[in-house]
Structure 1
Amino acid sequence: MEKVLNVKDIIGGQFTCEDAILLKSNFSNDNDTITLDFTGIDEVPTTFFYNLFSDLLYTTDREKSFQHIKVKNLSDISNYNKVVQGTAIM
């Protein structure tokens, strides 16, 4: 089952990195796929993605975790990739 979360609808267009906690509360612990839709948001900083995914990065297998998390409509995916791939190299 896929769950699509429109980020702007949940945390608004003017958000802070701490708002990632609010978005994270919409994640479930099952194996459903979560798609984060960034429609209407111009720039998302690396620190936002780190706050959003820090629990996953340190408590579960990185590759397995991100099989169930997808993103779409990001204007620049490089900040997402830095966090998900665990490197600043693109």
Structure 2
Amino acid sequence: MEILVKDVIGAEYESEDAIILREFVRDALNEEYKEKVILNFDGMGRIPTTFLFSFFTDLINTKGRDYVINAVNVKNLSNSRDYKRVLLGTAF
């Protein structure tokens, strides 16, 4: 399932909107997860690390890091290095 992030939270967003996106993805994953969720950040520009942290932290804590790594992918994210650091829990 591919999710165009801009369609879920809009082009003008706050870091707190990560909660909306997270719940949307959580619902998609709870529907008998059969395929990966792909978050398409097309047209979003640079996504703040705080947004990525807010989005992934709760999912990692509830579902586990390996599950999230296998179930959620990103596409068209300009700062994929920050994404990898948040997802893997490595320091900046």
TM-score class normalised by the smaller sequence: 0.7 to 0.9
The answer as to 2:85 corresponding to 1:87 is no
Q: 2:42 aligns with which of 30, 39, 42?
A: 39
Q: 1:54 aligns with which of 53, 57, 72?
A: 57
Q: TM-score scaled by structure 2?
A: 0.84
Q: TM-score scaled by structure 1?
A: 0.85
Contact 1:21 1:51 in 2 (8 A): yes
Letter of the 1:8 partner, please give it: K
Runs of 4 or more consecutive aligned structure 1 residues displaced over 2 Å after TM superposition: none
1:12-46 CA-partner distances (Å, limit 9, x unpaired) = 11211100111112122232310000000111011
Identity of aligned residues (%): 38
Q: Which has the higher helix share?
A: 2
The number of equivalent residue pairs is 87
1:19 match: 17
**How far off is 1:52 after superposition?**
0.8
Point out where structure 2 has 5 or more consecutive residues left out of the alignment: none
The answer as to 2:12 corresponding to 1:8 is no
Aligned equivalents of 2:68 and 2:21: distance in 1? 16
The two structures, once aligned, show a CA RMSD in angstroms of 1.4
Contact 1:56 1:65 in 2 (8 A): yes
The answer as to 2:71 corresponding to 1:68 is yes
Q: 2:16 aligns to what SS in structure 1?
A: helix
Point out where structure 1 has 5 or more consecutive residues left out of the alignment: none
Aligned equivalents of 1:57 and 1:76: distance in 2? 20
